[in-house]
Amino acid sequence: MSTLEDFFVHTISVEQLIGSGGEGDVYASAVDVRCFVEDTRRLVRGPDGREVVSETTVYAPAGTTALAPGARVTLPTRAATVITCADLDGGPLALPSHVVANLT
């Protein structure tokens, strides 16, 4: 268990983007993810290199694969989309590994 587990006090619902069809984007079934939600505005670069304003940052357990760019996220207060996601590995430094996702 990561030493960050005690901080994952929020639960969000995540629907991974699995493709696009004739009627728009297609999403997988929703999964619940325990995490920490930080509503802080910051400027990030999207997958295409453009600068995008992120309204929320989510910190989740290592190995959380649902938080991929394009995923639809239902937060406690609103809906959002994942802009970027990064796996942070503590490695030999004995720091807690986790996932960080920036949302619209």
**Mean pLDDT, residues 31-48 taken together:** 95
Residue-range domain boundaries for the chain: 5-9+35-67+83-103
Q: What is the pLDDT of residue 1?
A: 47
**CA separation, residue 82 to residues 6, 17, 44, 46, 91 (Å):** 24, 10, 11, 9, 25
Distance CA 28, CA 16 (A): 5
Average pLDDT over residues 35-51: 94
pTM above 0.85?
yes
Helix (H, G, I), strand (E, B) or coil at 22: coil
Amino acid at site 6: D
Read off the pLDDT of residues 54-93 as tens digits, 9 standing for 90 and up: 999 999 999 999 999 999 999 999 999 999 999 999 888 8
Q: What are phi and psi of 4, to 5 degrees?
A: -90, -15
Instruction: Determine what percent of the chain is predicted with pLDDT higher than 90.
Output: 79
